[in-house]
Structure 1
Amino acid sequence: MRPRLLTWDVKDTLLRVRHTVGEQYSLEAKLHGIRVEAETLNSSFLAAMQTQNKLFPNYGLGQGLSSQQWWMEIVKRTFRLCGVSDERVLSPMAENLYQGFSSARNWEVFNDVKDTLIHCDRLGIRMGVISNFDRRLEKILVNCSLRQHFQFVLTSEDVGIGKPDHRIFIKALSLAQVEPEQATHIGDDVWNDYLAARAVGMESYLICRETEQPARAEGLVPKDHILHSLQQLNSLLK
């Protein structure tokens, strides 16, 4: 296996949040004299995210929102669900948290990532990113010292569509000027990454560092298409 193009998901594939959302929201609240438990904030965040995704899919692009407005409303809704309603506090907290998630201090690069990307560079494999993320992703990758490895970064906000829509994969293939069978995609989501890439004719692998065989992959992903470490990918790139 030696693809001409290797595309990557980012969150939970190359990077993960260093602390839970609830922990980071709780810390920000304390700076404003407000005490809310991290576990409570985690639950409220999930509810706020579900509502926002339903009302305003893909960062509200179709309804005229910016991704910053979209995220700041999630922060505010999360705190409102926890009983915090003072807009004079909500707005600065939302702004600080939005900006903070662009910083490397809030993200952790998996320890098998940098060696793998360097290995791919040495093999002359072109690489790109396909992610259901907002425009902050470019800055995050720069701040985490990863951006230099990628020929392009496609986010669902930039493209206007997200995975598993086949068009974002086609866009990546077009940018790299390769055929689907010459490309491989790596990600942690069965439907958005593994199956979506294969639906357009690409090779794909599911990264699953935590468990031997994730329940969501049963019957959908052959065991030899599951990577428990990116070191396995290195051995496949002959």
Structure 2
Amino acid sequence: MLRLRLLTWDVKDTLLRLRRPVAESYAAAARAHGVRARPEALGRAFREAYGAQSRRYPNYGSGRGLSSRQWWVEVVKQTFRLAGVHEDGILTLMAEELYCDFCSARNWEVLPGAGETLSRCRRRGFRMGVVSNFDKRLENILSQCNLRHHFEFVLTSEAAGFAKPDARIFEAALRLGGVPPEQAAHVGDDYTRDYRAARAAGMHGFLLRAAGQGEEPAVPPEHVLPTLSHLLALIEKG
């Protein structure tokens, strides 16, 4: 059995997922303001706008004089511009509304087995925290989805100033948890940002990977979670 005291968790697509694609939410916001924009065009535009903003101002503009709210408002406005919507007043209104909408449980749902797995881990006495490439809205989203109470701390990349796979965000989490890396494990769905990055920081790692997803290199089967409910059995076997 692994001698673990701390479990850290990724959030998006590990514990929570969007209820519907971003493009559908954006199209619905546009319709509410009498603006026509096709979800397919918005989807392509969002990927382009998000990618460009991430390259220009990594980690929500942390350290570059931007707030994450300003960062996201610009992504939303640029998404609509690329999809052919150019009325500035409407763009600002929709961007502010969407920023707030994505802070609520209206847009997020708990993945199957997540709540039960977190409860079981707490009952086993594990200390728990979140390590997520997310902005400051995450605390509120977790509260609205009734998951916040499971965690001693929620460490976002915006708050830390570093984004996964940078080892410094995991080192900050270990300081918050008060344990050495060999007594901690990170659970997430991304091979590079979650599994490999946590292991590079000296932690254990578990990779959530549903059946049929692509095989990643160098992940022993005892580190792969077909579902979250497999976690405790793997820890006890390890």
What TM-score results when the alignment is normalised by the length of structure 2?
Answer: 0.96
Q: Deviation per CA, 1:77-127, whole angstroms, max 9, x where unpaired? A: 000001101111000100010000011010010111011001011101000
Larger mean CA deviation between 29-38 and 227-236 belongs to 227-236
Q: Which ranges of 4 or more aligned residues in structure 1 deviate by more than 3 Å?
A: none
Q: What SS is found at the alignment partner of 1:62?
A: coil
Corresponding residue for residue 200 of structure 1? 201
**Matched AA of 1:164:** P
- 2:13 alignment counterpart: 12
Could you report, residue by residue, the CA deviation over 1:8-27 in whole angstroms, capped at 9, with x for unpaired residues? Answer: 00001000100000000000
**Number of residue-to-residue matches in the alignment:** 235
Q: Return the letter of the residue paired with 1:60.
A: G
In 2, Cα distance between equivalents of 1:63 and 1:127 = 31
> Structure 2: any 5+ residue segments left out of the alignment?
none
Specify the alignment match of 1:142 in structure 2.
143
CA distance in 2, matches of 1:194, 1:125: 19
CA RMSD, Structure 1 to Structure 2 (Å): 1.1
Which residue of 2 is the match for residue 98 of structure 1?
A: 99
Instruction: Report Cα offsets for 1:192-217 as digits up to 9, x if no partner.
Output: 100000001110011012x33524x1
Q: Contact between 1:213 and 1:223, CA under 8 Å: does it hold in 2?
A: no
Cα pair 1:188 1:207 within 8 Å, conserved: yes
Question: AA paired with 1:212?
Answer: G
Give 2:223's aligned amino acid. H
Partner of 1:235: 233
Report what 2:185 is aligned to. Answer: 184
Which deviations, in whole Å up to 9, do the C-alpha atoms of 1:136-189 show, x marking residues without a partner? Answer: 000000000000000000001001111111011011111111111100000011
Match of 1:214 in 2: 214
Q: How does 1:1-238 map to 2 (within 5 A)?
A: 1-209=2-210, 211-215=211-215, 217=216, 219-238=217-236
1:231 aligned partner, one-letter code: S
Q: Could you say what secondary structure the match of 1:63 adopts?
A: coil
More deviation in 59-68 or 138-147?
Answer: 59-68
In structure 2, what is the Cα distance between the partners aligned to 1:220 and 1:41? 37
CA distance in 2, matches of 1:184, 1:32: 46
* Structure 1 runs not aligned, ≥5 long: none
Q: C-alpha separation between the residues in 2 aligned to 1:213 and 1:45? A: 24
Alignment partners' CA distance in 2, 1:62 and 1:85: 30
Paired amino acid for 1:134 = D
Cα distance in structure 1, aligned partners of 2:80 and 2:10: 29
Partner-residue secondary structure (3-state), 1:36: coil
**Matches of 1:2 and 1:45 in 2, distance apart?**
43
Q: Matches of 2:56 and 2:177 in 1, distance apart?
A: 34
| CA distance in 2 between partners of 1:112 and 1:70 (Å) | 33
Secondary structure of the corresponding residue to residue 63 of structure 2: helix
| Separation in structure 1 between the aligned mates of residue 3 and residue 12 of structure 2, nearest angstrom | 24
1:69 partner SS: helix
Pair 1:7–1:199, CA change in 2 (3 A): same
Paired AA for residue 236 in structure 1: L
For the residues of structure 2 that align with 1:220 and 1:99, how far apart are their CA atoms? 40
Asked if the contact 1:212–1:228 (Cα under 8 Å) also holds between the matched residues in 2, the reply is no
The 3-state SS of whatever aligns with 1:79 is helix
